[in-house]
Amino acid sequence: MRIAGLWFRCDDGIARPVVVVHLPGGDGSAHEERFLVDRGADRTVLSADSSSLVLDGVGGTQDCVLVRTALEFKRDDGGTAVVRGEFAAFTDPAATDLSILGRDVSNNFDLILSWPRNEILMLAAPHCYRVETN
Amino acid sequence: MNEPKLVFEENNDPIHYEKVRAQHERALLNCDWLAAHWPELLPAARGRFVAVAGQQAFVADTSAEAWSLAKAAHPKDDGAIMQFVRRDTSPRIYANRGSLVSV
């Protein structure tokens, strides 16, 4: 299984590793959400603006809410990888501009974040990687 | 630390894949457009929401308003994206130590 991401240039001019994920919406439609690939984050968290599309009525004064949803990743080999469960979602828009892909999801993959090669790859069987010396 | 219970599945339905793939490609077009057009949006967009659909930006004070403007202008673009634009431009350290609670 191979899932490709991209280096997305943010508002500060810095390119950061993201994967674009297919998210079901509260109204039955689906939208595409950018997740920052953050190997140090313990949890996957949806941004506030994303959660407003996933759920109706997210808001209030809590730092975050939990939403039951599915993250669907487009695989390069055809088909999708789906991660279902309960995910945190910020309610404060200023908390993060991008949703965050934490290790609860990413630990299931080998991650390749290569700025020199302009590649973001999430790999799982039957795909793997090999380090070579030229 | 309680680990969340997540279920991993594969969907190999070619019809579904084609729909996801096409939507994904449209989202990448909007991502590329936004990445290339930040200078035109800033600083006016700071502290506000920007939605991008049809490779066109819509800036508003609320996410609902930005999304509505984008969907009204490009109702067929299901690859629209949206985000809050940070007010500050200081370096980002993603190390929030807050705990997550269910409400």
Give the model confidence (pLDDT) of B1-43 as tens digits: 667 789 999 999 999 999 999 999 999 999 999 999 999 999 9
**Mean pLDDT, to the nearest integer, of B61-86?**
96
Write the DSSP symbol of residue A48. H
- Residue B63: closest CA among B82, B88, B81: B82
User: What's the pLDDT at A59?
Assistant: 42
| A113/chain B closest Cα distance in angstroms | 17
| Residue keyed to tokens 């309960």 | A86
Output the pTM of the full model: 0.90
- Residue A112: closest CA among A1, A14, A17: A17
- Rounded distance between C-alpha atoms, residue B26 and residue B83, angstroms: 16
- Rounded distance between C-alpha atoms, residue A71 and residue A82, angstroms: 6
pLDDT tens for residues A1-42? 999 999 999 999 999 999 999 998 777 789 999 999 999 899
Asked if residue A126 has a cis previous peptide bond (ω within 30° of 0), the answer is: yes
**Mean pLDDT, to the nearest integer, of B53-69?**
97
- Residue A80: closest CA among B46, B47, B24, B33: B24
Share of chain B above pLDDT 70, in %: 88
Interface contacts A/B by beta carbons within 8 Å: 146
Number of Cβ within 10 Å of residue A125's Cβ equals 7
Write the DSSP symbol of residue A20. E
> Which chain B residue has the Cα nearest residue A79?
B12
Closest in A31, A52, A80 to B17, CB measured: A80
Whether B82 contacts chain A with CB within 8 A: yes
Banded model confidence at residue B81, pLDDT cuts 50, 70, 90: very high
| Pair A86, B4: CB distance under 8 Å | yes
